Structures are given as structure tokens and as C-alpha cells.
Amino acid sequence: MDFTEYTIRLVDDVAAAHCLEAKSYPPSEAGSLASLAYRQRVAPDLFLGLYAPGFVLRGFVCATASAEDSLTAASMEHHDPAGRHVLIHSVVVDPQYRRRGLASALLRAFHRHVADLPGTPYLRLLLIAHVPLFELYQRAGYQLRGPSPVVHGPDAWFEFARDVTDDDLRLTLAPLRQ
């Protein structure tokens, strides 16, 4: 797939992001419009979108920051502007555009973006995932930490972590064409 047609930029259309979120997660797991709007309002630099020509949102990553080095129900509800850890809430790609490498491209762009933020204080990225997505996150450099205490929907969640490194600054979208 030719990734040159896509643009990575901060998300300002939370309603479009919510539509993708609702199509991508079961109702018991999908973030509400209010929760996405909260994340965009308090941590706009951690809400990155993948746009097709015409600025059509095809995917996004949204996160908040926390002082905690693990995801908990409480840490996922709040943003700590002084937090050193990025808690990724959603990695979403429009269902019609999945299995084309867009989630991997979006994650790499997000890693670079986080590492590139002026004066970035971030040490680690954390997320929770279900078993079918283990390979995606492991290929993106995340390490499985084990079962998560977070209960959100009927299926078990597992926590992954990835350190923010200098290598993230060297990432570009060019290698994504492989």
C-alpha cells in the first residue's frame, strides 16, 4: 500500500473519531463521545489521526498521561499533565481499511510524535489489548506485561508496555511501504 496518500495530524473532529470507535469496539468497550472529547480537550497532543485525501479520518490513536506505570481503571479516567507515562486508550482503523498496515503505520507515527514533542517528559507507552491483537503490538515493540486488572467488557485484557526511545525519533513513514 502506498502510504504517501495519507496525512498524520492531530485530531480535531472528535465526532468522526467516535464513529470509528463505535464501529471498532463492542458497545461495552467503545469509548463514549464524551470520553473521547475529554481526552482530546485535556491531551490534544496525544490524539493523533490518520487521514486519507480530503481529510477523511481513517484511523486514530488517543491517549492520556499518568504518573502510574500501569493501567488501572482509575488511571484511565484521568489525565495527569505531569505524568511520565502515556496511556493509550484506543488504536483504531476504519474496518474497511484494516489488514493494510495502517495500524502499524499509525503506531509508528504516534511513537515518533510522542518522542518528538517539545520537552517531552514521557518515558513509557502503555496499553491494554485482547489476545487477537498481541502480534500487532509486539511487532510495534511493545512487551507483554501480563493480565490487566482493568475490567472493561466481557473479555480479559492484557497490559503491554514500550519505552520511548531515541530510535522513535528516527522513524519515518518511508519504511512503512514494505
- Residue type for position 7: T
State CA 34 to chain mean position distance: 18
State CA 25 to chain mean position distance: 14
CB 72 within 8 A of CB 150: yes
CB 40 within 8 A of CB 31: no
Residue 176 confidence (pLDDT): 39
Residue 116 confidence (pLDDT): 83
The C-alpha cell that represents 103 in the structure block: 495500524
User: In a structure prediction context, what are the per-residue pLDDT tens digits for the chain, which is 178 residues long?
Assistant: 444 567 778 888 889 999 898 998 878 788 888 888 989 999 999 999 989 888 889 999 999 999 988 888 888 888 998 899 999 999 999 999 888 889 999 999 999 888 888 876 788 999 989 888 899 999 999 999 988 888 777 788 899 999 987 566 554 443 433 2
> In total, how many domains does the chain have?
1
Residue 118 confidence (pLDDT): 80
Residue 174 confidence (pLDDT): 37
Range of the domain at 32: 3-177
Instruction: Tell me the CATH number at 14.
Output: 3.40.630.30
